[in-house]
Amino acid sequence: MLDIFLTNKIPSTQAGWTDELIRVASIFNEFDGEPFDYDQIIDRFATISRRVPDARDSADYRDEYGAYGSYLGLMNFERSSTGGGWICRINKRAQSLLCDVLPDPEAYMRLQLSLFQYPNPIGFRFQANGSIVIEHWSLDKRIRQIRDGIKTAPFRLLMRVLLALAEDFGSNEAVLTYAEIWTCLFNQPHAVGTFDPDGRELASQVMRFRGSSHGTVQVPANALRNLHIVTHTGLISYRRPRSLVLEPDAADQNTDLGRIAREVAYLPIHFPTPEASSSDDEIKDWTLEVLRSGEWARYYSGGEIETDAADTILQPIFTLDATLLNDPNYGPGAPLHDLVEASRIRGRRLLSRKASPEETQILREKANFQHRAIVNLLATRLRAAGINPLSNIFIDVAAEMPSKKMLFEVKSCQSINMLSQVRKGVSQLYEYRYRHLSLRGAKPVLVLETRPSNESDWIVEYLIRDRGIALCWLEGDETLAAPSACGDCLAPIVHRLEA
């Protein structure tokens, strides 16, 4: 009865997919509050499209990235107060959790997947003139779901059963194979026909199935193809062959992760849907109405969740790996690698284990869209000057030249958090230079998203004159600028020296 979860247009199989989520959210954020312009959005997303240019068509944005807005709730559109058009609005929680200095994509995914349900009004296109086009395939699927009595929040269903397996049969049994999900859950009316399923009864059914003909079930090739998206919540991991495993701490209700898991599993809200007796036209009218009115957007942005529940679901998840404290390959003193290779190493480390709280913070800051853009621009300028940019998990960029060494710390920032980011950057530069023996004596350079100005203008002199730290900043999208006082070390790298 339920053969897909989300859509195959969200390719979330890789551990680094959350970087893509952050990147897409950051682009949507550029359009926040702007009149809806389909062509502008297409052109902006064309810069990160995975398709070759001559394969592009007018559906690229919808096919590749439009699904992020509709299926994951990153963006919605509200009616303009001046006429029949639409205004772009980014989900405010997406803005704070994905576009902030320290992104937390796992928290965002926990919330959105908890709210995602079938039936839903997803599968539409907004038109600049203020109309909405409902896609036929999505309407047909919605009608079938309503007729079949499907009422389910798939992620909550999975969490209820996994928790029941852990509580009733032991934490080692808190596993769901795709065959079990297909047979015992998604194809069972009593599992997907209610927003309040009996997790214990379903867990018992899974255990009975597990002891019988489990190995003979063939799951259709395209079914359950997006279940891996739940692994980006921090509550579930993937095990080969094709199994979902509850994180050990989530099975314990006395841990933070356990409390989060139970809040997700028993979230008591859902979006009201038409009755099974509704006509096709009534279901279509319902779809148009909840989209035009913004009711679905308010629900899917978490507007109906109680504050305490939202705070629990959205709290950061940190897992400390104490062995890292004595790991010579960990921390600022770890070996430096070419910038591209260092990124691959970060990805491999994320796949192999949980990060410590400190490392998690560093990696989240590196995942920030603007932070990555500045690092890439800086690396391009260094290479153009004949200098190979180096990096490790903590150090953004280092450069070893015949006559001098340089250590760069990149900070995404705006006026509201300028001082706190500069303070962090200064302390990191001193610590990283001290802890990495090969960088002792390196010139520290702080690279900011924007120039300190107005009440923060004093920071320029403070860094250069008092601290001996060179400073540069981003102007526009592709220009690095620096004070003329930093010209002796930054002139070969920056585009412009400020008089």
SS3 176: strand
279 lies in the same domain as 345: no
pLDDT given at position 351: 40
361 lies in the same domain as 473: yes
SS3 497: strand
pLDDT given at position 356: 63
Low-confidence residues in the chain, pLDDT < 50 = 52-56, 319-326, 348, 350-353
pLDDT given at position 263: 97
**Residue 200's CB: how many other CB atoms inside 10 A?**
15
pLDDT given at position 325: 41
140 lies in the same domain as 160: no
Instruction: Establish if 306 belongs to a structural domain.
Output: no
166 lies in the same domain as 190: yes
pLDDT given at position 330: 60
| Alpha-carbon Rg for the chain in angstroms | 25
284 lies in the same domain as 243: no
Which residue matches tokens 């995404």? 412
User: How far is Cα 22 from Cα 478, in angstroms, rounded to an integer?
Assistant: 20
128 lies in the same domain as 188: no
Strand partners of residue 481? 473, 496
Q: Which two three-digit tokens encode residue 317?
A: 């998840």
326 lies in the same domain as 438: yes
330 lies in the same domain as 414: yes
Of 466, 460, 440, 458, residue with least CA distance to 448: 460
**What secondary structure does DSSP assign to 215-260, as a single string?**
GG----TTTTTTGGGGGGGSSEEEETTTEEEE-GGGG-TTSHHHHH
140 lies in the same domain as 159: no
Which stretches within 294-435 are classed as H helix?
Answer: 295-300, 307-314, 339-352, 357-367, 369-384, 418-435
Query: Residue 235: which domain range?
Result: 154-266
User: How far is Cα 21 from Cα 418, in angstroms, rounded to an integer?
Assistant: 25
- What pTM does this model have? 0.82
Instruction: Establish if 106 belongs to a structural domain.
Output: no
Instruction: Establish if 4 belongs to a structural domain.
Output: no
Q: Which two three-digit tokens encode residue 169?
A: 């049969």
Domain count, the chain: 3
224 lies in the same domain as 250: yes
